[in-house]
Amino acid sequence: MEYINLKIKKINESLIEGYIKIRAKTDGESSGMTWTKGERPVGNIEEQKKALTGILNNQGGIIFLAYVDDQAVGYMSLSGETAERVRHVRTITVAVSKKYWRKGIGLKLMKKGITWAKANNIHKIHLWVWQNNTGAKLLYERLGFEIEGIQKDAGFINNKYVDRTMMGKILK
């Protein structure tokens, strides 16, 4: 694999702008995400900071960013609810900018998130992936995620209804 100057950083206030920008960029680059181009615009950064206060204060979730040569190229987030009965679970979102696919960045981000979840006593991590997102499914299977169920016609992508696969991993 070619050498790239990759760094994984935990989000902080100064990295929020980079996060919002790479999130908007990756939303528009593939049909793998729930959001389409422009649905989560960059908008007002100060307002975005307010919306992410919980995460910045280590409450409920975490975001890791992948940087190549000081440019944000991908992210993974672990988010969750605070209710007692479900607070042992976190939901994963991951995306890498298309130009950087298949360079090991998604895998590195996922491993970082799993390490964080284990260190923070999270019992289970899970995610939803569109049925036709073969590459992402292979990535998750490689990390020990198992298929837990299929939701019929949960998405509408490129004028077609698409099933959604639920995948999960119990952390021991």
The residues binding ligand COA (CB under 6 A) are: 26, 30, 32-33, 94-96, 101-107, 127, 129, 133-136, 138-139, 142
For residue 132, the minimal CB distance to ligand COA (Å) is 10
Smaller CB separation from ligand COA, 16 or 165:
165
Cα–Cα distance measured from residue 28 to residue 37, given in angstroms and rounded to the nearest whole number: 4
Q: How many CA atoms lie within 13 A of 137 on its CB side?
A: 15
Give the tokens for residue 46: 């100060």
For residue 68, the minimal CB distance to ligand COA (Å) is 11
User: Which stretches of the chain are DSSP H helices?
Assistant: 16-27, 45-51, 53-56, 105-119, 134-142
Smaller CB separation from ligand COA, 21 or 49:
21
For residue 80, the minimal CB distance to ligand COA (Å) is 17
Smaller CB separation from ligand COA, 56 or 168:
168
Cβ neighbours around 172 below 10 Å, total: 5
Cα–Cα distance measured from residue 144 to residue 163, given in angstroms and rounded to the nearest whole number: 21
Smaller CB separation from ligand COA, 16 or 109:
109
